[in-house]
Amino acid sequence: MKDKVKEVLASLLKVKIEELKDDVSLQNSIGVDSTEMVESVIALEKSFGVKLNIKEITKNSTINDIASTIQSKLAK
Amino acid sequence: MEKIAITGIGVVSPSGIGKRQFWANIKSGRSFIKEITRFDASKYPAHIAGQIDDLEKYSHISERLLKKIDAFSHMALVASELALQDAGIDIKNEDPNLVGIFLGNAIGGWLYAETELRDLYLEGREGVSPYMASAWFPAAPQGQVSIYYGIKGFSKTMVSDRASSLMALGYARKVLYKNKLNLILAGGMEAPVTPYALLCCNTYGALSTRNDDPQAAYRPFDKGRSGFVIGEGSGIVVLENIQRARSRGANILGFISGYGTTCDGVDRINPASDGKELARAINMALNDAKAKPEDIGYISLDGLAVDLWDNSEIKALRLVFADALKNIPVSCPKSMFGNLLGASGALDMIIALLSMEHSLIPPTLNLDTPVLRDINYVAKQAREYKVNKSLIVSRGRGGINSALVVEKGSI
């Protein structure tokens, strides 16, 4: 799950996968901006087939946070 | 008003990227007008242009940023970097509050806009990039340049059709003169080689449709003229107060010493046929520069290659320069790479600076049979000539007139 999240974000935002850290926020790892966050939420929704809220996945989310949010949605 | 020093040149054009390559091509009188290859333009009445194919090779912009911006912002970022390098300025060492950006363009970033609008209608709102809103609008390059360098000083974007960038240069000088800033990145950028922008230019009706012979299509002031050819690119210069430029030991490439602008107020598209308001703008620029008409050694023409525009431009010059006109070399170098619309004036000024530096006046291509005679046209090939002061003329639809006087630098 974490690897797929990283793949989706790296390909969307044109950053290297290594730049995305499991336990560092997107803000602190790649300096994501608010428009990139909107894009990221839409891309993750499409890739995982879940409905996400922009309040659930934010600049302060880590890869671990994002993966567990998606995991819990998929489990429902 | 005081003169302002030009200390760096950044140029991105169909005739070359970087001032060395650009000047080598300009002085050789080589045409870079060709059939458009970026998309299938064959069904457009006019489908030739000055197109830039190798921007990526010179670009320092990351893929991450490129997906958020239009080509015109990309060109402005590359031209800004080249200008700063040429000036020997590292923005990190500057007070960001005292650095400004004054850029002009006529049409905005259409490649981004039209692609996303297509997706809006095909895929719905979720198909549209969230960057659409900030990528297409005319002030986007100013924003991107300011973000890239952390520039925070007073800045403006001018939108005055083809006169936009010359106007940006004129206003930037005023702001520097008032000592509001230490330095300004000024000029313009335009990227009209896109399906929709090309359609709009075609609809305007002033493009040459001589598609079978692209290099011969743009013929300002020639009997066989049939309209202009569009081009894309950016010209940006670094402007500083003379004292500051001298104290940091900068190479002063030239000075902006006068600027004037007027409106014809006669038609939505066309200029006034009498050239009187353009003449008034030129006189304003000369007075501002404390220059007499006979002090001008070279005139860079707007040269739209449309009867009314070309003839009224020559009328204006005759009103201002009278008998002195026959002694002043004039040319329209944009006939080599296309009319960069809102960025055209900045490129013309850069060419005038390089001409004065090298004592070589670049030619107007395809000027075989001048319609109006007794004008000292430099045609077909460059002419060696020493110039200390040049006049740049730039005009926009709806009767926008602007004129700038630049003087030779201290190299």
Domains of chain B (ranges; CATH) run 4-247 (3.40.47.10), 259-408 (3.40.47.10)
CA angle centred on B10, ends B361 and B141, rounded to 5°: 130
Beta pairing class for B360-361 and B233-241: unpaired
d(CA B228, CA B91): 38
Q: What is the ipTM of this complex?
A: 0.85
CB proximity under 8 Å: A 43-72 to B: none
pLDDT in tens, B325-377: 999 999 999 999 999 999 999 999 999 999 999 999 999 999 999 998 889 99
Please give the average per-residue pLDDT across B299-316, as a whole number.
Answer: 98
Give residue for tokens 């049409």.
Answer: B107
pLDDT of residue B178: 87
Task: Report whether pLDDT(B411) > 70.
Answer: no
pLDDT of residue B385: 97
Give Cα B302 distance to the centre of its chain: 10
- pLDDT tens for each residue of B381-391: 999 999 999 99
So what's the pLDDT on residue B79? 98
Question: What is the token pair recorded at B104?
Answer: 């002009």
pLDDT of residue A53: 87
A–B CB contacts, 8 A cutoff, strictly below: 15
Closest-CA residue of B relative to A43 is B126
Residues of chain B positioned with their CB less than 8 A from the CB of A15: 64
pLDDT of residue B296: 98
What pLDDT does residue B374 have? 87
In this predicted model, what pLDDT tens digit does every residue of B208-267 receive, in sequence order? 999 999 999 999 999 999 999 999 999 999 999 999 999 999 999 999 999 999 999 999
**Domain span at residue A26?**
2-75
- Distance between CA atoms of residues B361 and B69, nearest Å: 36
pLDDT reported for residue B324: 93
- What token pair was written down for B311? 């003839």
Residue (of B271, B292, B405) closest to B345 by Cα position: B405
Q: Do B365 and B219 meet the contact criterion of CB atoms below 8 Å apart? A: yes
| Amino acid identity at B266 | V
Residue range B104-117: mean pLDDT, rounded: 96
Mean pLDDT of A2-17: 95
Q: What is the DSSP letter of B259?
A: E
Chain A residues lying within 8 Å of B130, measured CB to CB: 35, 38-39
Under an 8 A CB cutoff, do B126 and A14 touch? Answer: no
Q: Which of these, B218, B191, B195, B203, lies nearest to B45 by C-alpha position?
A: B203
Nearest to B68 by CA among A48, A1, A32: A32
Report CB contact under 8 Å: B131, A35.
Answer: yes
The verdict on a CB contact (< 8 Å) between A15 and B131 is no
Closest residue on chain A to B64 (Cα): A14
| For residue A56, pLDDT beyond 70 | yes
Distance of residue B114 Cα from the nearest chain A Cα, in angstroms: 19
Q: Is the pLDDT confidence value at B165 over 70?
A: yes
**A39 to B129: CB separation less than 8 angstroms, yes or no:** yes
Assign residue A59 the CATH number of its domain.
1.10.1200.10
Domain count, chain A: 1
Which residues on adjacent β-strands are paired with residue B364?
B379
Which of A11, A12, A13, A14 should we substitute to test contact with B (largest number of B Cβ atoms within 10 Å)?
A: A14
pLDDT in tens, B255-299: 999 999 999 999 999 999 999 999 999 999 999 999 999 999 999
DSSP label of B102: E
Query: Cβ contacts (< 8 Å) between B134 and chain A: which residues?
Result: 35
Query: Which among B59, B62, B67, B148 is the top mutation candidate for probing chain A, defined by the most A β-carbons within 10 Å of its own β-carbon?
Result: B67
Convert the pLDDT of each residue in B196-210 to its tens digit: 999 999 999 999 999
Q: Looking at the predicted structure, is the pLDDT value of residue B126 above 90?
A: no
Q: What does the pLDDT read at residue B1?
A: 73
Full-model pTM? 0.95
Q: From start to end of B222-354, where are the E strands? A: 233-241, 254-263, 298-300, 330-331
Determine the Cα–Cα distance for residues B13 and B82; give it in Å rounded to an integer. Answer: 13
CB contact (8 A) between residue B130 and residue A14:
no
**Residues B205, B202: Cα–Cα separation, whole Å:** 5
Q: Stretch B85-109: mean pLDDT, rounded?
A: 97
Which residues of chain B lie closer than 8 angstroms to A38, CB-CB? 130
Q: Which residues of A touch B67 (CB under 8 A)?
A: 14
Which chain A residues contact residue B64 at CB under 8 A?
A: 13-15
Type of residue numbered B370: P
Query: Which member of B63, B64, B130 has the closest CB to residue A38?
Result: B130
Question: What dihedral do alpha carbons B134, B135, B139, B143 form, nearest 10°?
Answer: 70
| Mean pLDDT, all residues of chain B | 96
pLDDT at position B125 is 86
What would the pLDDT profile of B33-71 be if each residue is shown by its tens digit? Answer: 999 999 999 999 999 999 999 999 999 999 999 999 999
Q: Provide the shortest C-alpha distance from residue A15 to chain B (in Å).
A: 7
Q: Once rounded to an integer, what is the mean pLDDT over residues B119-135?
A: 91
